[in-house]
Amino acid sequence: MRKLIIALWFMTPVALYAYHMGPGQERINLDDAAALIESAGAHARLAEELAASEGDTAARPEWAAAEADYAEALALLPAERVSEGRRLRLERAKAQMFLAQLPTANATLAGLVQEMRGAGANETEQALIADAQSAYASSQYYMTWLMRLEGAAREEWEPRIESARQLFKQLAVSSSGAAQVEAQEDLESAIRLARMDLSELQGLPLPSQ
C-alpha cells in the first residue's frame, strides 16, 4: 500500500502537466478568448458612440483596440469552434474597415461569404450569414468608391458594385423591419454610385469607412 501511495504521489505532477497541456490548457484558452471578446465588444461599442458624437478620428483608437482583441481571441480559439471563429473574423473585418484596412477586410469578408454559402440552416447561422453578406456588400461599395476615385476602368470596378447591388437586393427581400429599410437604402446607394459621373463623385466627401 505504501509503495502504491508513493507511486501515485510521483504520478500526480505528470497527470497535472498532461491536464494543463490538454483539456486544462484549452479551458484556459477559451476563458482568455471570452475575456478578449468581451473587451473587443466594449471597445467597438465605445467606438460607435465616439464616431456619432465626436467623429471617426476620435473613434479610431477604440476600433484599433477592438481589432487587436479580436485578432488575439481568434488565435486562442480552437479550430473546431468554427461558428465562433467565423463570427470573430467578421467582427474583426468590420473593425478593419474603420482603420484604413479596407482591402484586407474586403478579402476576409469575400472568403467568409463564400465559405458560408449553403452552410447552416439554423437561425443563428442564418443571422451570421446575413451579417457577413451585409458587411461584404458594404466593403464592395466602398472599394468601388475608392477605385473610381483612383481612376480605375469601368470593367474593373463595375463587378464590385454589381456584387454589392445584388447582395443588398437579396437582403432587402429576405429581411424585415429596420434591417429591410437599411438594406433598401444601401441598395439605392449602390445604384447611385454605379450611375454617378466621376466629376460628381469627386465633389462628394469620402464615406466614413
Distances (CA, A) of 29 to 16, 156, 168: 17, 43, 37
Residue 207 pLDDT greater than 90, yes or no: no
Question: How many angstroms from the chain centroid is the CA of residue 103?
Answer: 13
For 102-118, how does the pLDDT look when each residue is reduced to its tens digit (9 = 90+)?
A: 999 999 999 999 998 86
Q: What is the pLDDT of residue 20?
A: 47
111 and 200 part of one domain: yes
* Structural domains of the chain, count: 2
Q: What is the pLDDT of residue 25?
A: 76
For 120-140, how does the pLDDT look when each residue is reduced to its tens digit (9 = 90+)?
A: 657 778 889 999 999 999 999
77 and 11 part of one domain: yes
Q: Let me know: does 74 contact 108? Beta carbons within 8 Å.
A: no
108 and 81 part of one domain: no
Q: What is the pLDDT of residue 82?
A: 92
Q: What is the pLDDT of residue 23?
A: 62
- Integer Cα distance of 195 and 167 in angstroms: 18
Q: What are phi and psi of 196, to 5 degrees?
A: -70, 140
For 9-63, how does the pLDDT look when each residue is reduced to its tens digit (9 = 90+)?
A: 445 554 444 444 556 777 888 999 999 999 999 999 999 999 999 999 999 999 9
108 and 204 part of one domain: yes
Tell me which residue range forms the domain holding 12: 1-87
53 and 146 part of one domain: no
Q: What is the pLDDT of residue 118?
A: 67
The pTM of this model reads 0.84
4 and 83 part of one domain: yes
Overall average pLDDT of the 175-188 stretch:
94
What is the chain's mean pLDDT, rounded?
Answer: 88
Of 89-98, 105-114, 133-142, 173-182, the poorest mean pLDDT is in: 173-182
Q: What are phi and psi of 119, to 5 degrees?
A: -100, 135
